[in-house]
Every structure is written in C-alpha cells, then in structure tokens.
Structure 1
Amino acid sequence: MRVLVTGVTGFVGGHLSEHLLASGDQVVGVSASGRWPAELAEVGRSVRLERCDLLESDQAELADLIKRKQPEAIYHLAAQSNPQASLADPRGTWALNLGGTLNLLEAVKAAGLAKSPRIVLVSTGVCYGDPAPEHVPVTESCPLRPNNPYAASKAAADLLGIQTHLTDKLDVVIVRPFNHAGPRQSPRYVLATLAKQVVEVEQGRQDCVEVGNLEVVRDYTDVRDVVRGYRLLAERGRAGEIYNLGSGTGLKLTDALRRLTELASRPVEVRIDPARVRPVDLPLLVADASKLRAEVGWAPIYSIDQTLQDMLATFRALAAASS
C-alpha cells in the first residue's frame, strides 16, 4: 500500500512508520521540520521525507504532493498533542489541530485523485473530558466535554472530518486513541517522565522522583499496539465512522510508578512536587474499544509491564550513551 504520514518524525509517527514498513507498505512522510530526529535515523533510510508545514505551505503545493505520491492511505498525525502545552498556547493549538486538518482535507480534494485515499484522522479520547460515571468505560456515543484547547480542537477536527465525508465523499475514518506510551516517548508525558526520573535516580543524577497527582486513572496502551490499530482501520474501518482505541483497563498512576520502582536497580524515593500538579486533570478516563475490536479485529498485545520495561530500557540506553 502507498501511504502518506503527516507528523511522521514524531513519537507515534516513528512507530507507525516502522509498522507500515514491516507490513510491506511504501511510506512517504511529511513534517514541518523536514528533518529526522537522531533516534529515527534508521526509519529515515526507508521513508521518503518531504518538508511540509500544514499551516504555512501553499495549498497548491500540498495538493501537488498528494497528486504526485498518489497515496492509497493518509495517516494524519501532525498536531499539537500535549494538553498542558495547549493551555499555554491555545491559538497555536487550534491553528494546527483544526486549521492543519482543514488544509490537508482541502488539499486532498484539490489533488483530484480518481479515488479518495483512505484518510485516518487521529483524534484523542481526551475529547470526552470528564465523563459521567454512567459513561465509563467510554463508548463513541459519550457526549464530548473537552476541557482544554487540545481536546476541543481535536473534537472540532473530528466534526470537520465527518462533514467532508458527508459533503465531499472523502474516505475518512476517525480514531480516538486514549493514553499511550512506549519507547522513545518524550518526558513531557507522565509515564515517560516517571520512567526517565527512575533512571536518573539509578544513575545517581537525582535523589528522588518528583511527582504530581498520581491518583488519576488512565487507560494506557502501548504505542506499538496503537499504530497497529491505525493500519487495521486503514484497511478495514468503515468510512465516516469514529473508533475508540484503548485497552479497556484503568491504571492508577501510583500503580504505574510502583511498577517502575520495582523494576529499578536501586531503591527510589518519591516526592510530591506541587508544581507538577496540573490545574485541570481528569480523575478517570477508560475506553470501551469494543467497536474497534469487533469491526477490525484489533486487540492489544503488549502488557503495561512490558511497556514500562521497554521505556526504562530506552532511557537507560540514552543515559549510557551520554555518560
């Protein structure tokens, strides 16, 4: 399959590229920087990378790229995907998450391909906000109550995707992944920062792990299972439909940290840092992904223990390389 991946140089984009290549796909990626990070140098040898800023590039330029590459599937990952960062820059978040999606969809239309490529729009389970108890685990019919610009802009992009499917007959599928983690994830995200700090304590570079609110419960899926779900949706998902993607199991962050400290090579002290307590946090968010499981045959393979072990291994390797 010929595929185009926006945001290809990011955390999820790298894992998706690896999965697509292993599945025999021909992959072209676009990113605003046009450069591969060092950790994705191996992927960069097999994926053609085009520099394209979804906000600044001329629509005709983007349409020409799509026309030249003739993708059978487009995975739209490019986004400002950090809820906390979105609170600091709401305008930039809305511009990229909604405006960038609009520009991509308009470019697909302008490319005038004989058949619309399958477009997998990657949204987020955070769109549901803080669901009422009767809506947990969360199905796709749960009301949307986003409580930060990231979630709200993604919810708006979902509506745009449905509208272009209905109005312009674009072959759009929307996926709402819940929390995911895995090797190479940025320490801007909670499991990654916990894993990184545990390694820092192991290395003697800091004396404790500093944490915020660990009482929240999240549905974590390994990123390698997540990207496998994306490709299954590209192959088997129904156009115009929305699919939740998650393990269906809640994980309290205190338990995640306990597992990380049990895997550590030395005792780890934990300290609460008030600066790490988020002003807006959801106490409980767990997915009901039965629709995805039933319609495309997806199920997670990686356990949370394996995910955490692999994250620690990645940060240990980085620490060893920098010492």
Structure 2
Amino acid sequence: MRVLVTGADGFAGRHLCALLRASGDEVVEAHGPRAEGMNSNALNFDIADEAAVRTAVEKARPEGVIHLAGFASVARSHGNPARVFAVNTQGTVHLLTTLRETSPKTRVLLVSSGEVYGPVTEGTQAAETLPLVPLSPYAASKIAGELAGEQFFRSYGLPVMVARPFNHLGEGQDPTFVVPSFATQLHAIAQGKASPVLRTGNLDAIRDFSHVKDVVAAYRLLLTSGIPGQTYNVCSGTPRSIRAVLEEMLAVSGVQARIELDPARLRPSEIPSLVGDPSKLRALGWAPKATVTQALQEVLGPTLRATPGAPPRTP
C-alpha cells in the first residue's frame, strides 16, 4: 500500500515509517515546514495551510493516510489555543477535504488521543463509548478533528477510522514530555553536570503506558483492517503512576537523586487517572509485544543502564 504519513518527522512518525517500510509498504513522508531540507524525499508543508495540503496530497497519490501531524503538547496548548485548533482541527479538515475531492476511496486513520476522555474514575478503564470531557485546548481540538472525520465518513463515505493512543514511550521522544524529561535530568546528574535533584510535576497521576513500537503496529493494523466510522483505543489497559515509572527509571539507571516538586511542571488542569480499555483493538488481533521496561531502557540509553549488583551512581 502507498501510505502518506503526516507528521512523519515526529516521535511516533519515525517509528511508524520504519515499520511500514519493513512491512513492504511504500511510504510518502510528510514533514512540518521546520524540517524543510532535512529529507530531500519528504514533502514539507504546514498542515494548517489548505493550499499546501492539497498540493502535497495530489503529489503523494496515497492509497492510505495515517494522520499524525499536529500540535502535540497538552501542557503548552493552554498558551496558544488558536494555533492548536488551526493545526489539529483545521489541518484535519484540510486533509479530509482534499482526500474527498481527489481520492475518496483512500483509507484514512486519524490519530487522536486518550486525553479526550478527561478524568477517568481510578480503577476503571475508558472504553470508546465513554463521554468525552476535554480539559485542555489540545483535547478539545482533537475531539473536533474526530467529529470532522465522522462527518466526512457519514456524509461522503470517506473511509475514516480514529485511533485514540494513550501514553507511549521509546527512543526519540521530545524531552518536553515527562519520561524523557526524567531521562535528561538523570543523564545530567550521572555526568556531574547537575546536582542530584530530580524536578518533577505531579507524580501521583496514573497513566496507561505502551511501547511506541506496539502503538505504531496498531496504527498499521487499523489502517488496513479497521472498520470505517469506528474509533479504537490504543493502550495497554494497565495503570501505572508517574511515581512508579520514575522509581523504575532510578532503579534501571542506578542514579541516586532527591525528588523535588517543581510547580512550573504542573498542568493547569490535571487528570488524576487516565487508563484505557484495549478490548476493541485486541479483537482485531493486536497484542503488545514489548514492555514498558524495555521502553524505559531505550529512553535512558546504554550509558544509564545499571549493571545488576552495581552500587548506585553518585555524581
């Protein structure tokens, strides 16, 4: 299948493109405008620019599209809601409109987010039928993009599916996200470049973590086998507190550090617990093949994997 991947230069996008090529698919990478010139074979454009989107899609001639491009930071979305909606919602509408007019049989996977559920009662899992409660411009913009996809499916028959991924981890994630932020601090402490203090946000929040390679495997499966008009959670269903993840990173790295709350790292609207129900995705044959521990080891890198029995690292 000839697949157009928007946001191919992002964290999940890079892993997805590698998987698609390994699976025998022809991949057309679409990168953001800031990546122009970095890959001569990629299409570079702003997803919020309608004319640029049309030009790129017409050039790509895709049989399938996985739409990852977007404003990805929940925390930073509070500071620029207009840009968030321009990219995540209007950008999605630009893409759907062009596909409807140029290749209406192209299968489309819109990648949304588990953040659309808002707070989920601790000890329960969010199913796809749960009412949506956005607590950030990011989540609201993703819901609006989902609704656009549903409307294009219902009104025009465009074969659109929606994926709602929960937290995913692995090599190459931006250090503004919580786990790579911890890893960056641990590296600085281990190298003696920072005092042995780890600055964190809310460690009591409970989240659903998966390895990024399992997440992108789900995307490919949904593009080929998902049912148009349907929405699928991409998650493990296993609750983990941020504190437990950090403690595992400390154990893996062997670094000793004092944990200190940094108010600047707290979100304006915090979600205490967010865990998904993966049953619908599993019914298509998906199952995780990697562990969160493996993902944490990849995030930390080989220089911060403690040898069993070795004494703790001190700066």
| Paired residue type of 2:93 | L
Is residue 192 of structure 1 aligned with residue 180 of structure 2? yes
Is residue 238 of structure 1 aligned with residue 227 of structure 2? yes
Counterpart-to-counterpart distance in 2, 1:27 and 1:316 = 34
1:54 paired residue number: 47
Give the Å deviation of 1:314: 7.1
| Paired residue type of 2:4 | L
Is residue 297 of structure 1 aligned with residue 280 of structure 2? no
| Paired residue type of 1:121 | L
1:248 paired residue number: 237
Counterpart-to-counterpart distance in 2, 1:216 and 1:127 = 16
| Paired residue type of 1:268 | A
Task: Tell me if structure 2 keeps the 8 A contact 1:139–1:244.
Answer: yes
Is residue 98 of structure 1 aligned with residue 89 of structure 2? yes
Counterpart-to-counterpart distance in 1, 2:183 and 2:48 = 34
Moved more, 65-74 or 208-217: 65-74
Equivalent of residue 311 in structure 1, options 288, 299, 309? 299
Give the Å deviation of 1:55: 1.6
Task: Tell me if structure 1 keeps the 8 A contact 2:252–2:304.
Answer: no
Task: Tell me if structure 2 keeps the 8 A contact 1:175–1:242.
Answer: yes
Equivalent of residue 260 in structure 1, options 249, 252, 260? 249
Equivalent of residue 204 in structure 1, options 161, 174, 192? 192
Counterpart-to-counterpart distance in 1, 2:228 and 2:263 = 45
Give the Å deviation of 1:312: 0.2
Is residue 175 of structure 1 aligned with residue 163 of structure 2? yes
Task: Tell me if structure 2 keeps the 8 A contact 1:120–1:174.
Answer: yes
Deviation readout 1:33-79 (Å, 9 max, x if unpaired): 26379xxx7xx58xx30112122251xx5334333432111010111
Counterpart-to-counterpart distance in 1, 2:80 and 2:112 = 19
1:321 paired residue number: none
Task: Tell me if structure 2 keeps the 8 A contact 1:116–1:171.
Answer: yes
Identity %: 37
2:142 paired residue number: 154
Deviation readout 1:173-223 (Å, 9 max, x if unpaired): 000001111111011111111122111111111112111210010001111
Task: Tell me if structure 2 keeps the 8 A contact 1:202–1:265.
Answer: no
2:271 paired residue number: 282
User: What is the TM-score with the length of structure 1 in the denominator?
Assistant: 0.89
Task: Tell me if structure 2 keeps the 8 A contact 1:196–1:315.
Answer: no
The gaps in structure 2 that reach 5 residues or longer are: 306-315
Counterpart-to-counterpart distance in 1, 2:31 and 2:121 = 38
Moved more, 186-195 or 275-284: 275-284
Assess, with a 3 A threshold, how the Cα gap between structure 1 residues 62 and 273 changes in structure 2: closer, same or farther. closer
2:7 paired residue number: 7
1:23 paired residue number: 23
Paired residues, what number? 304
Give the Å deviation of 1:131: 2.6
- For residue 12 of structure 1, give the secondary structure of its aligned residue in structure 2: helix
Task: Tell me if structure 1 keeps the 8 A contact 2:50–2:94.
Answer: no
Is residue 65 of structure 1 aligned with residue 56 of structure 2? yes
Equivalent of residue 122 in structure 1, options 92, 106, 111? 111
Deviation readout 1:269-295 (Å, 9 max, x if unpaired): 22222222222111111010100100x
Give the Å deviation of 1:145: 0.5
Give the Å deviation of 1:265: 3.8
Is residue 77 of structure 1 aligned with residue 65 of structure 2? no
Counterpart-to-counterpart distance in 2, 1:137 and 1:202 = 37
Give the Å deviation of 1:133: 5.4
Assess, with a 3 A threshold, how the Cα gap between structure 1 residues 51 and 273 changes in structure 2: closer, same or farther. same
Task: Tell me if structure 2 keeps the 8 A contact 1:34–1:50.
Answer: no
Moved more, 63-72 or 118-127: 63-72
Deviation readout 1:232-269 (Å, 9 max, x if unpaired): 00111000000011000011111111111111244222
- For residue 220 of structure 1, give the secondary structure of its aligned residue in structure 2: strand
2:133 paired residue number: 145
Deviation readout 1:100-133 (Å, 9 max, x if unpaired): 000000111221x3x5111000000000001345
- For residue 209 of structure 1, give the secondary structure of its aligned residue in structure 2: strand
In terms of fraction of residues, the more helix-rich structure is: 1
